[in-house]
Amino acid sequence: MTFIVLLDIINIVDLGDFMDRIIMHIDVNNAFLSWTAIYLLNNGYKYDIRDSYAVIGGDEKTRNGIVLAKSIPAKKMGIYTSETLYSARKKCPALKCYPPNYLFYSEMSDKLFKLLNKYTPDIEVASIDECYLDYTPVKNIYGDEVEFAKKIQKEIYDTLKFTVNIGIANNKLCAKMASDFEKPFKIHTLYDYEVKKKMWPLPIGDLFGIGKRSAEKLINLGIKNIADLANADVSYLSKYFKNQAINMVNSANGIDNSRVVSEISVAKSIGNEITLEHDVSNKEELKKHLLYISDKVARRLRNDNKYAYVVVLVLKDKYFVRKSKQKKLNNPTNVTEDIYNTSVEILNSIDNMEPVRLIGIQLTNLVDTCDHQVSLFEDIDIVENNEVLDKTIDTLKDKYGSSILKKASLMNVKDRRRLHDK
């Protein structure tokens, strides 16, 4: 009996530790469109496309172009993310489409995370435009979390010229849910005691981690809102969702014990993963995330004076099935472009891919030196110069910010032409 009591005490203490946490989820409002607007304004554009009928999309000429982001006026015309540009133009003939600028997006993302790192290193990047921040260790320094969130919001807007939503809660799940409440430029709380009032009435499809297909299945089972799921019989749900049933019910009750993890690193590998806001099947959309991740893991290699022989692409699909595919390089590398190109090559080789909810890159077979075997068609000076250039860029970014220098091979066509003209 005494043993059982002790276990109960331990559980209570652990639960208390989690309940005392203060986690923030910081999410850029309409990131791609906002960042494109900033880029255009910085380069002489006369008006802010955020105030017009505008979308960010792929190449219309290929007939594969889809809407990646839309302005508020475009949204009011019924245009939605992932629909074809052809369909969007039918709804709004005055619509203007702008190509994604992934390199600039990465720069703006770096600026955001660098700003936040001034206050705490406990930041977990969730995607190129969102992150989790563990405020618990620094609350005694900066004070009330809501007032701190207001300060951060203002600083981001004043210095970077875009807005963010901030969700505040006792865990990552609820912080994410809170940041998705009313937008834009809002701060919301979803503490444990607020879950029933603020989260339970929401439609089941609004619960983070519940995809469209799962939501449809739940509705067919009579589970229409989050409260229904929170009070559902786990054993009954297991017939339809197997091992995920317990996780779904826990999520509906606002239970999440996962920690804010600043980086993924194991003894003989370096990696980074991001969970996407929505399931993505379009490979062009996934490549922008690979560019961002490639830069992150390559910089960590260079900081550690390491080189990688193997690039592993990690994907988790909408069914939470985790898969990986790797490619061994002829020569080890810590060059961003090499890692990005290899990861894209792996991605392009995957057929019949399920929609992706998590994407990452893992670098393995790390070595301390680069004994480069030059092929008949390869110039060793170019290889070495790429590494030196990347290290120089790292130094300049650390000192002056991410936008100080761009590597020409990773620029879009317009950036290259502009550089050439100079």
* pLDDT tens sequence across 290-330: 998 998 899 988 888 889 988 999 998 877 778 888 898 88
User: What pLDDT is attached to residue 76?
Assistant: 94
CATH code of the domain covering residue 77: 3.40.1170.60
Q: How far is CA 274 from the centre of its chain?
A: 5
Segment 384-406 mean pLDDT: 52
What is the number of structural domains in the chain? 3
User: What's the pLDDT band for 266 if we cut at 50, 70, 90?
Assistant: very low
Segment 2-22 mean pLDDT: 44
Residue 273 has pLDDT above 80, yes or no: yes
- Taking the C-alpha atoms of residue 284 and residue 320, their distance in angstroms, rounded to an integer, is 21
Residue 162 has pLDDT above 60, yes or no: yes
Segment 406-414 mean pLDDT: 44
Segment 359-376 mean pLDDT: 71
CATH code of the domain covering residue 332: 3.30.1490.100
Whether 410 and 307 map to the same domain: the answer is yes
Tell me, yes or no, whether 177 lies in a domain.
Answer: no
CATH code of the domain covering residue 207: 1.10.150.20
Whether 232 and 282 map to the same domain: the answer is no
Tell me, yes or no, whether 53 lies in a domain.
Answer: yes
User: What pLDDT is attached to residue 390?
Assistant: 62
319 compared with 336, residue with greater pLDDT: 336
User: What pLDDT is attached to residue 225?
Assistant: 96
Taking all residues of the chain, what is their mean pLDDT, rounded to a whole number?
A: 82
Segment 386-397 mean pLDDT: 56
Whether 300 and 405 map to the same domain: the answer is yes
Whether 283 and 239 map to the same domain: the answer is no
Residue 199 has pLDDT above 60, yes or no: yes
Q: 284 burial class (0-12, 13-18, 19+ CB within 10 angstroms)?
A: middle
pLDDT tens digits, one per residue of 96-150 = 999 888 888 988 998 999 999 999 989 988 888 999 999 999 999 999 999 999 9
User: What pLDDT is attached to residue 43?
Assistant: 93
Segment 9-17 mean pLDDT: 37
Q: Is 169 helix (H, G, I), strand (E, B) or coil?
A: strand
Q: Mean pLDDT: which of 12-26, 195-209, 360-374 is highest?
A: 195-209
CB 369 within 8 A of CB 380: no
49, 67, 100: which is the final residue of a domain?
Answer: 100
Tell me, yes or no, whether 124 lies in a domain.
Answer: no
100, 133, 148: which is the final residue of a domain?
Answer: 100
Half-sphere exposure of 130 (CA within 13 A, CB side): 22
Q: Which domain holds residue 95?
A: 32-100
Annotated active-site residue in 60, 83, 107, 130: 130
Whether 268 and 248 map to the same domain: the answer is no
Whether 220 and 284 map to the same domain: the answer is no
Q: Is residue 130 annotated as a catalytic residue, yes or no? A: yes
Tell me, yes or no, whether 27 lies in a domain.
Answer: no
196 compared with 262, residue with greater pLDDT: 196
Whether 276 and 398 map to the same domain: the answer is yes
Q: What are the residues whose beta carbons fall under 8 Å from the beta carbon of 244, sequence distance 6 or more?
A: 320
Whether 204 and 276 map to the same domain: the answer is no
Tell me, yes or no, whether 170 lies in a domain.
Answer: no
164 compared with 390, residue with greater pLDDT: 164
Dihedral class, residue 46 (left if φ above 0, else alpha if ψ from -120 to 50, else beta) = alpha
Neighbours of 30 (CB within 10 A): 23
User: What pLDDT is attached to residue 375?
Assistant: 42
372 compared with 70, residue with greater pLDDT: 70
User: What pLDDT is attached to residue 341?
Assistant: 93
Tell me, yes or no, whether 60 lies in a domain.
Answer: yes
User: What's the pLDDT band for 238 if we cut at 50, 70, 90?
Assistant: very high
User: What pLDDT is attached to residue 385?
Assistant: 54
User: What's the pLDDT band for 242 if we cut at 50, 70, 90?
Assistant: confident
Whether 229 and 354 map to the same domain: the answer is no
Tell me, yes or no, whether 116 lies in a domain.
Answer: no
pLDDT tens digits, one per residue of 62-104 = 555 788 899 999 999 999 988 888 899 899 999 999 988 888 8
Whether 314 and 220 map to the same domain: the answer is no
Nearest to 119 by CA among 141, 87, 150, 89: 141
Dihedral class, residue 81 (left if φ above 0, else alpha if ψ from -120 to 50, else beta) = beta
- Taking the C-alpha atoms of residue 140 and residue 187, their distance in angstroms, rounded to an integer, is 20
User: What's the pLDDT band for 392 if we cut at 50, 70, 90?
Assistant: low
User: What's the pLDDT band for 353 if we cut at 50, 70, 90?
Assistant: confident
Residue 411 has pLDDT above 60, yes or no: no
Whether 298 and 376 map to the same domain: the answer is yes
pLDDT tens digits, one per residue of 47-62 = 999 999 999 987 666 5
100, 124, 150: which is the final residue of a domain?
Answer: 100
User: What pLDDT is attached to residue 388?
Assistant: 54
Residue 41 has pLDDT above 80, yes or no: yes
CB 154 within 8 A of CB 146: no
Q: Taking each helix axis from N to C terminus, what angle separates 380-400 and 283-303, rounded to the nearest 10 degrees?
A: 90
Whether 309 and 405 map to the same domain: the answer is yes
Tell me, yes or no, whether 140 lies in a domain.
Answer: no
156 compared with 107, residue with greater pLDDT: 156
